[in-house]
Structure 1
Amino acid sequence: MNFGQLITAMVTPFDEQGEIDFPAARNLINHLIENGSDALVVAGTTGESPTLTNEEKVNLFEFTVQVAGGRFPVIAGTGSNNTRESIQLTQQAEAAGVDGIMLVTPYYNKPSQEGMYQHFKTIAQASSLPIMLYNIPGRSSVNMSPDTIIRLADIPNIVAVKEASGDLDAMADIIEHTPADFALYSGDDGLTLPVLSIGGAGVVSVSAHIIGPEMKTMMSHFNSGRIREASTLHRRMLPIMKELFAAPNPSPVKAALNLEGVAVGGVRLPMLPLTDVQLSSLNRVLHGQDTILI
């Protein structure tokens, strides 16, 4: 399964009552695809998965598949720290027609490397869908080692990893020792170009909500050997990328979308909207967005 280079981890739009706003979701999905996204991750951390019920997640999977209409892959976030629950949600996502699933490392209960291996292997055996692993030690408190990821890559339907450890040496090790068709994606927007340079497949991005066309242009430059142009654009995008993580994700990117006229509503507790000071800073950075294209 080829998920493409630029995968957006989509926010979940909410209405004024804090319920999923499906008309706004339709508009957002089309906005993202029109602005360069090759695929979407639905109900990941950026989609506020910890605050969505499983019923809400399944409804969102079904809706996104319907809007996609086969135009682009839909990747469902079905991972948790409960193996049985992840299997159940994965099977519901498969029934909803998604094209792949993303499984985060089990958080809070802090399994061993062997425990993580068995967790992912057991879920993979319960589904025929292609699976993207998601290593994010900053949120899950456990780091999946390169050796564990390399072992998991031998399982036929585990086809990719979203690597958000920030460790380029570990990523190079994974790329070097996994099959040629196993894809490593950066989990950090600011490392997109460095990850491409060591053989990565692309990025699972938050910033693509706002600067998708620019990120796609940077990747196109890199792919065609225009390294100087790619690196210049990368550096010019960094202030926006940093600002979109100046407060806990996804509060800044939701605020940015609202400022840009793509209504997605607010966030659910325990996330908070940006303060006036944070919103003012975000607005200043976004006003310089038009100058980053080359």
Structure 2
Amino acid sequence: MFKGSMVALITPMDKKGKICKKSLKNLIDYHIKNNTSAIIAVGTTGESATLNKEEHIDVIMTTLELADGKIPIIAGTGSNSTAESILLNKKFEKSGISGCLNVTPYYNRPTQEGLYLHFQAISESTELPQILYNVPNRTGCDLLPKTTARLSKLKNIIGIKDATGDLSRISQLKKLIKKDFLLISGDDKTALDFMKLGGDGIISVTANIAAKQMTKIFNFALQGDFFNAYLEEKKIFLLNNLLFREPNPIPIKWAAKYLGLITTDTVRLPLTPLLHANKNILQKEIDKIGLRKKLKNNF
């Protein structure tokens, strides 16, 4: 369940910024129909930074309820407070959540030993499978391969989402980690190369609007058919880049609204709506590759 194309799900909101349950159900149904491997609820793309604690828990539990056991749900439970991350993990014990995604503590910039002790404490507090999440350009700290290797020995730390975009990390991790440990890309632009070098899948932003295409690409990759995987990826290569012209999830929310998957592209401050110039560029590419027509035919 933690391989292939997984989606870092956006959190749909109405015009007032409140969670839109109807759009959330629409998104979940879309991913079930298009065979996305798993949904990650309330990660970076799900705007965890601007949801309060009650909303954070509610969105994850609502996602779990609406999925109705038809697709695995992974909960974003990371925090820059070890105690808060432990509390979030405990909230989802025995809930039906398939696992948790834990980002490195942001802003307070812990040492490698601090990172190890942080994730060790979380691991010891729960039976839920844990996926580490390293995205240094957002958090201000980097979970290095040697620290990841130490953490991989803990009972329920099963993998890492690596969003560094540094493909050399894969060989470093494979040399250091002996057991079966999942290597998951968090960078849409380099994910297929990541898979070719030995990765297991992607937690994708692009999959929010191109679920069928991403499933196809990464199913080919899991089968070792990189010739066809690259042929399919070529069709959405530019889209993968355009979705990051402004900070995520601004462009992907606008694109999801343009395609009718959600009712508004509302984001919360300090995020702001997509610039008009970028709307035009993104719209042209979506129309050029026929994504709207394909979506209607497959949803």
TM-score by length of 2: 0.93
The corresponding residue for 2:220 is 221
- Residue type of the partner of 2:284? R
1:158 offset after TM fit, Å?
0.3
The corresponding residue for 2:24 is 25
Higher relative contact order (CA 8 A, sep 6+): 2
Between the aligned residues of both structures, percent identity stands at 37
The corresponding residue for 1:79 is 78
Q: Give distance in 2, aligned partners of 1:246 and 1:193.
A: 20
Q: Give distance in 2, aligned partners of 1:82 and 1:124.
A: 14
- Residue type of the partner of 2:288? G
Q: Give distance in 1, aligned partners of 2:154 and 2:15.
A: 44
Q: Give distance in 1, aligned partners of 2:137 and 2:155.
A: 28
Moved more, 195-204 or 58-67: 58-67
Q: How does 1:263-278 map to 2 (within 5 A)?
A: 263-265=262-264, 266-278=266-278
1:95 offset after TM fit, Å?
5.0
Assess if the C-alpha contact under 8 Å between 1:62 and 1:97 holds in 2: no
The corresponding residue for 1:286 is 286
The corresponding residue for 1:58 is 57
Moved more, 44-53 or 91-100: 91-100
- Residue type of the partner of 1:59? D
CA RMSD of aligned residues (A): 1.6
Assess if the C-alpha contact under 8 Å between 2:152 and 2:158 holds in 1: yes
Show CA shifts across 1:119-149 (max 9, x none).
0000110010000000000100111100001
1:180 offset after TM fit, Å?
4.2
Assess if the C-alpha contact under 8 Å between 2:149 and 2:173 holds in 1: yes
Ranges in structure 2 where 5+ consecutive residues have no aligned partner: 295-299
Q: How does 1:122-201 map to 2 (within 5 A)?
A: 122-201=121-200
SS at match of 2:137: helix
- Residue type of the partner of 2:122? I
Show CA shifts across 1:128-174 (max 9, x none).
00000000001001111000011100001000100011111112211
TM-score by length of 1: 0.95
Q: Relative to structure 1, is the Cα distance of residues 234 and 176 closer, same or farther in structure 2, using a 3 angstrom cutoff?
A: farther
Show CA shifts across 1:233-252 (max 9, x none).
22332100011111111010
Q: Give distance in 2, aligned partners of 1:58 and 1:262.
A: 23
- Residue type of the partner of 1:154? K
Moved more, 121-130 or 30-39: 30-39
- Does residue 252 in structure 1 map to residue 251 in structure 2? yes
The corresponding residue for 1:234 is 233
The corresponding residue for 2:205 is 206
Q: Give distance in 2, aligned partners of 1:98 and 1:264.
A: 27
Ranges in structure 1 where 5+ consecutive residues have no aligned partner: none
Assess if the C-alpha contact under 8 Å between 1:110 and 1:141 holds in 2: yes
Q: Give distance in 2, aligned partners of 1:88 and 1:225.
A: 40
SS at match of 1:108: coil
Show CA shifts across 1:204-244 (max 9, x none).
00000122211222223333443222222223321000111
Q: Give distance in 2, aligned partners of 1:219 and 1:163.
A: 16
Q: Give distance in 2, aligned partners of 1:84 and 1:220.
A: 38
Q: Give distance in 1, aligned partners of 2:175 and 2:35.
A: 28
Assess if the C-alpha contact under 8 Å between 2:3 and 2:202 holds in 1: no
- Residue type of the partner of 1:209? N
Assess if the C-alpha contact under 8 Å between 1:12 and 1:264 holds in 2: no
